[in-house]
Structure 1
């Protein structure tokens, strides 16, 4: 699945959102403390060597979509490989929320990370995140969809049936867990949170999915990649949930490093991702259940691959002002 066709498929949805949205927020821009001389929309490495960092221990964090303890094991072989290639100690940091992950990088406590689709632009703008890769199948296909799910017997056979009921979102920084479904509900179904339905926030995709499966929420917006992995692990049964809406395809979690890493170290971090052998690892076991299967890391451009996400942010009135 090449990136240009992906963006083209989403363009119609985005056009609908933009056409029915209120006044836009300011266009994407980096925090004033960063520079972008080459126009690639990510922070440049400081030209002053004194402002570059070369930590003895690299801190790595995966986006907090599910149980951090599970993912510490999933990433174990990669962590070892990253340590070998960079010559650094590497520590897995089990972040509990998107906000905590963003603040950790902004404060200099996080050096390499995977930020989810929706929080990528905010991480780039406010934390100096430099994404350069994401997972894909062996033939380069990638992406996931936002699905609105319910449970059998909830009285929700179609999206319009959510009116008057609770709907679970994950967090306000999530693309599939909040921003995309909110924009789509407004543009396609003329439904507003707080007016037509009661929004509740679960914090994570797995919380929303389990909440629906356990009949705590009559509906929820989730990333179907997370749901498929949870079904594959037996966390929930397929018959516990019913999908009533599926979006176009979005890019997946973007992986990268903090902007002020010493250039030689940043190059080694890139090398570690692209030279990692997935065969027989926890990553392969966990992510092969995705559709398409995620089996390698491919190069990406924040400017190109996250264009549609920035458009949704603009339609939702998202501000990139760093607090």
Structure 2
């Protein structure tokens, strides 16, 4: 894949993620290398086009190893004089640009070649000794991924557009106020806005009374979210609690934006009503066993 195409694809993805429009760039809150990391490593799992291009080329080496009797592999072996065990014997020369890309990407002269580190050779049937390599097979070592939403991902990274973050980025300057829109007292950091602000505390306390929870939770996001889940040993209850946690933080953030940009009157009761509605709708999607109506759900 030409580098120009790769850059164009990355530009489209960035514009979509950060909410920009064609020809107008919006502020990127997290490095693109982090965005492209797997979800279990704190990224969003968005496709890294350079790596994707490498994977497409690697697929052809995989075919050389696995599809010993296919016509396309036979043609490649004859054209490029590849021995039966899959390693090429010639580089450069009259070979096509496509094949040279495969050689450069997937047959690196290094013990740390990405392709070699991702496959495993099985001798014979796993019990017999290998004889002339004819019984050998190959397997790919897969990677697992976790589950994140784009919003909770930004919360955990501390990259919401709070006034504190905007000030740090130089967007809010001089004498512009950076106090919380809810309490008008403390600086509007993400930790304060979602957890320690008296307004947010009203919403969390209403939630605690709703489900009968009496534990005091920390104000730090990285501690608040996992500890919140640990309070519920049952898997179904934990899924429900974590969904409500996401609904509360999302509803607080949306309410903050509506107070700022639409001049809404701040109302903790309204935030919690929206929380219950959103959590109910989301649980219908993520849980096969959830069948409560909104009324039944709010009367827990």
Check whether TM > 0.5: no
Structure number, greater radius of gyration: 2
TM-score between both structures, scaled by the size of structure 1: 0.25
TM-score between both structures, scaled by the size of structure 2: 0.26
Decide which structure has greater strand share: 1
Decide which structure has greater helix share: 2
Q: Which has the higher contact order (CA 8 A, sep 6+)?
A: 1
